Amino acid sequence: MNRFLDKVKLKIKENNSLVCVGLDINPEAMPDQFKSDYLRYQRAGSEHDQARVIHEFGRWIIKQTAPYTCVYKPQLAYYEAMGLPGMMALMRIVDEIHRYGFAALADSKRGDIAETAKMYAKALFEVFDFDATTINAYMGQDVVEPFLAYQDRFAFVLTKTSNKSSGDFQDLSFRGDGAEEKPLYQIVAEKAQAWNAEHKNCGMVVGATYPKEMELIRKLTPEMWYLVPGFGAQGADPEALIPVGVNEEGDGLVGNSSRGVIYAKDPAKAAQKLRDEINQYRWKQKQMPRAGGGGSSGGD
Amino acid sequence: MNRFLDKVKLKIKENNSLVCVGLDINPEAMPDQFKSDYLRYQRAGSEHDQARVIHEFGRWIIKQTAPYTCVYKPQLAYYEAMGLPGMMALMRIVDEIHRYGFAALADSKRGDIAETAKMYAKALFEVFDFDATTINAYMGQDVVEPFLAYQDRFAFVLTKTSNKSSGDFQDLSFRGDGAEEKPLYQIVAEKAQAWNAEHKNCGMVVGATYPKEMELIRKLTPEMWYLVPGFGAQGADPEALIPVGVNEEGDGLVGNSSRGVIYAKDPAKAAQKLRDEINQYRWKQKQMPRAGGGGSSGGD
């Protein structure tokens, strides 16, 4: 049993949703009441009150979006940029995510080796009690092992990322042992697949902005789970991505939107809209058309 | 003027040292008096006292090793693994490093894009006031720009890392437009060189455990600065590394040891020993032998 996958699968079913809501909390971008409170406490140097406001905003978002979401993903950079109040708030927001029955996925993109990677895993999985994290495997297998050693947690390896310059290195074509050339992201995908075969708790980050690459990756790794950022503010198109991204059961991925949901005028509506857009294409798999259309965990 | 390079160059001259001391503070590994105090406060839930003990240990290390060191490098994972007390202690240790006139280099290996990378840069350079950081460029140029935009700070891009599995991806062979094949780390090195040409504040992480790769990188980028981990506990050999790693002036790199210094019975002696071992080979450059032997900033 895996704490992360169990909770995600339960919520996918319960809420009929593949939506991951990214909690990238920037005090400047919060609604006016939260923002003015935060800035007032910041001027007063009241760190505990700053933390409380961030926590309250996070709870407000979770409460509204909970019926349309399958997992929450705090982006650590935003909390670190607030200093100590941010770290205090992050701990409480992770608790809040758990209280609502969801898995908490740390977008940390950590990547270090040996003793150091163990410390990052300890920080994320023990101190903050996250269920999962994103990791960067540029330094190779040494990075990955300490995270996957937590059998009830989960780690998503950066494979093909959603940003414009992701091709700088990820798209370069390499020659492995054989004569065949492959892009780096494919080599990373194959490694991640091997790590998952051994540990059963390794997924991949595959950007929603690259459907062609997603199609290749899904073909290679039909059994794996992906975190798919790029919806919402980054403008990815569910119609192009979802049919090539989902597995046979119409899931196997969670699609993330951050700013597009949490800073929307109505976060609940924004989450619902993304859920419905994604669901429109969940049963139109391009790779593996199924007789009868529906999957095993629900349909539209 | 660059705050990081200025301070490092000054200390290299003042202390005739290329040694970077890695402040990877693990409460369990501290000397008995510090350790028992820390554990007692941890049991009592007294976070401020825990932070104070870590800060005191950090100050004790800095005070002893300051005459033999050119820069200090806290590894963020260790502080994060302590939770809030760790973050409080880290802020004070950065202050302490500055109080002694040194540059503070964050070993964070952060790597994210756009708004998120800006937040990491803000956290490291504004909230914690680090002079420099390590970064992971797997996601391409988008990662790098927000850090280099701080003109008085500095960023080291992971290129060829010191760990065993660094070859999993970094050594893969790539065929570009021409017929020539290059390993991934070389492609990263060439990108880092272009970023440095534009911004003047980009260096590289090159592991001390890979002298052959270092030789190639130094040949390609004679003008760049490297952070070179792998001395001390990781067992790199200064005789093999230093002659191929230094530039014409006998510097252009800082060689890191963490556990090998801070958990030594006598940290001062351990730092002095590493300094002297490195200095033995600083003026024996393999790439660019100079008539007369000495360099412009001192000699042995």
Q: Supply the ipTM of this predicted assembly.
A: 0.94
pLDDT surpasses 80 at A173: yes
Indicate whether B51 belongs to any domain. yes
| Partners of A157 in the β-ladder | A135, A204
pLDDT surpasses 60 at A53: yes
Indicate whether B255 belongs to any domain. yes
Mean pLDDT of B97-108: 98
Residues B37-50 pLDDT 10s: 999 999 999 999 99
Mean pLDDT of B219-238: 94
Helices (H), chain B: 3-15, 32-43, 47-65, 76-80, 84-99, 114-121, 141-148, 167-170, 184-199, 211-220, 238-245, 259-262, 267-282
**What's the gap in Å between the CA of A83 and the closest CA on chain B?**
6
Indicate whether A220 belongs to any domain. yes
pLDDT at position A174: 83
Q: B283 or A71, which is more confident? A: A71
Indicate whether A299 belongs to any domain. no
- Per the structure, the count of domains in chain A is 1
Cα B180 to Cα B201: distance, rounded to the nearest angstrom:
29
Facing residue for B80 by CB, picked from A75, A120, A143:
A120
DSSP class per residue in B156-221: EEEEE-SSGGGHHHHT-EEE-SSS-EEEHHHHHHHHHHHHHHHHS-EEEEE-TT-HHHHHHHHHH-
CATH assignment at residue A10: 3.20.20.70
pLDDT surpasses 70 at B211: yes
Q: How far is CA B269 from CA B19, B64, B110, B272, B299, in A?
A: 13, 9, 32, 5, 21
Q: A290 or A35, which is more confident? A: A35
pLDDT, mean over chain A: 93
Indicate whether A78 belongs to any domain. yes
The answer to whether the beta carbons of residues B190 and B219 sit under 8 Å apart is no
Q: Contact B169/A161, CB-based, under 8 Å?
A: no
pLDDT at position B296: 42
pLDDT at position A178: 61
- Which residues form the domain of A10? 3-282
Q: B299 or B23, which is more confident? A: B23
Count CB neighbours of B1 within 10 A.
6
User: What does residue A206 show for φ and ψ, rounded to 5 degrees?
Assistant: -130, 120
Indicate whether B292 belongs to any domain. no
Buried b (16+ CB within 10 A) or exposed e, B46-69: ebebbbbbbbbbbbebbebbbebb
Give residue A167's pLDDT band: very low, low, confident or very high (50, 70, 90): very high
Cα A192 to Cα A144: distance, rounded to the nearest angstrom:
9
pLDDT at position A177: 60
**What's the gap in Å between the CA of B235 and the closest CA on chain A?**
15
Q: Contact B81/A139, CB-based, under 8 Å?
A: no
Indicate whether A115 belongs to any domain. yes
**Is-catalytic flag, B109?**
yes
DSSP state of A146: H
Mean pLDDT of A107-122: 96
Q: Which of B23, B130, B139, B158 to mutate to test the interface with A (most CBs of A within 10 A)?
A: B139
Indicate whether A290 belongs to any domain. no
Q: Contact B24/A122, CB-based, under 8 Å?
A: no
The answer to whether the beta carbons of residues B51 and B93 sit under 8 Å apart is no
**What's the gap in Å between the CA of A174 and the closest CA on chain B?**
5
Give residue B226's pLDDT band: very low, low, confident or very high (50, 70, 90): very high
Residue from B9, B35, B109, B286 carrying the catalytic annotation: B109
Facing residue for A77 by CB, picked from B123, B140, B166:
B123
pLDDT surpasses 70 at A57: yes
Residues A212-248 pLDDT 10s: 999 999 999 999 999 999 998 788 999 999 999 999 9
Least confident of A282-291, B2-11, B91-100, B118-127: A282-291
**Chain B residue with minimal CA distance to A111?**
B109
pLDDT at position A291: 42
